[in-house]
């Protein structure tokens, strides 16, 4: 238990430091990414995912680590993403960057964090009504690309190449 807390703290410090260093905690940089002016942040995120997918495949091959695939609910996951996208485009913060930006000393991030606590409290209050209404009816389960493509190795290759192509495309389109 105590070891887990120290691991969490250490992982958080490293994660927060790196996202600060690359500019992801700066809402100005994030807005310019969303407006297709600066391509650094989206390229950074997608490359990190592609590398992590390859790395995780390696870890799993030697039986290291724990994974948990979240289910897909066609309605709830999609609707939640729309709500999330509006908030992200408006504020320029996502849940993780808000914590790091608060540590950096950005006042507007403190309000994003407080708004986030309020949003969490409201969702938790109505969880019992909203989940059966929005999430459960179109929940198609913990599906993964590996199920669709008939194997993990193929799916990892598709993710790595697909995300790589996205990074290349973003570099082409954003900087024009």
Partner 1 sequence: MKTDSRQSLSTYWRWFPASFALAGIILFIFATFGPPASSSGFVSTLKGFFQSAAPEYVNDKAHYQMLPGPGSWLFAFVIGMALGGFIGGRTLKIPVRDIPEIWERKFGRSRVKRYAATFTGGFLILFGARLAGGCTLGLFISGSTQLAVSGLYFGVVIFAVAMITARMVYGKAGKERQS
For the segment 146-175, give every residue that binds partner 1 (CB under 8 A).
146, 148, 152, 155-156, 159, 163
N residues, the chain? 176
- Nearest Cα residue to 119 out of 80, 159, 65: 80
Least distance to partner 1 from the beta carbon of 172, Å?
15
**Per-position x/- string for 14-33, each x denoting binding to partner 1 as judged by CB under 8 A, each - no binding:** xxxxxxxxxx-xxxxx-xx-
Contact residue for partner 1 among 61, 89, 161, 168 (CB under 8 A): 89
Q: Which of 71, 137, 164, 169 binds partner 1 (CB under 8 A)?
A: 71
**Which of 136, 142, 165, 173 is the binder for partner 1 (CB under 8 A)?**
142
The whole-angstrom separation of Cα 66 and Cα 144 is: 16
The binder of partner 1 chosen from 85, 137, 164, 169 (CB under 8 A): 85
Q: Could you tell me the smallest distance in angstroms from the CB atom of residue 128 to partner 1?
A: 6
Among 11, 61, 161, 172, binds partner 1 (CB under 8 A): 11
- For partner 1, the binding residues in 41-60 under the rule CB under 8 A are 41-45, 47-49, 51-53, 55-56, 59
Quick check: 7 binds partner 1 (CB under 8 A)? yes
CB < 8 Å & 24+ apart, contacts of 46-53:
46/163, 46/166, 46/167, 46/170, 47/163, 47/164, 47/167, 49/159, 49/163, 50/159, 50/160, 50/163, 50/164, 50/167, 53/156, 53/159, 53/160, 53/163
Vertex 163: Cα angle to 22 and 101 (nearest 5): 25
């Amino acid at each position: 238990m105590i070891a887990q807390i120290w691991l969490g703290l250490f992982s958080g410090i490293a994660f927060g430091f790196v996202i600060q260093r690359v500019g992801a905690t700066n809402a100005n940089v994030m807005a310019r990414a969303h407006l297709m002016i600066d391509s650094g942040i989206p390229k950074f995120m997608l490359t990190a995912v592609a590398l992590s997918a390859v790395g995780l495949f390696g870890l799993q091959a030697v039986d290291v680590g724990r994974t948990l695939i979240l289910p897909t609910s066609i309605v709830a996951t999609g609707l939640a993403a729309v709500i999330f996208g509006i908030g992200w485009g408006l504020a320029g913060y996502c849940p993780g960057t808000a914590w790091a930006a608060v540590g950096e000393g950005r006042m507007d991030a403190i309000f994003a964090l407080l708004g986030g606590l309020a949003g969490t409290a409201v969702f938790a209050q109505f969880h019992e009504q909203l989940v059966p209404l929005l999430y459960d009816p179109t929940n198609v389960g913990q599906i993964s690309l590996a199920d669709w493509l008939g194997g993990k190795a193929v799916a990892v290759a598709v993710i790595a190449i697909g995300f790589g192509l996205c990074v290349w495309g973003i570099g082409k389109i954003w900087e024009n």
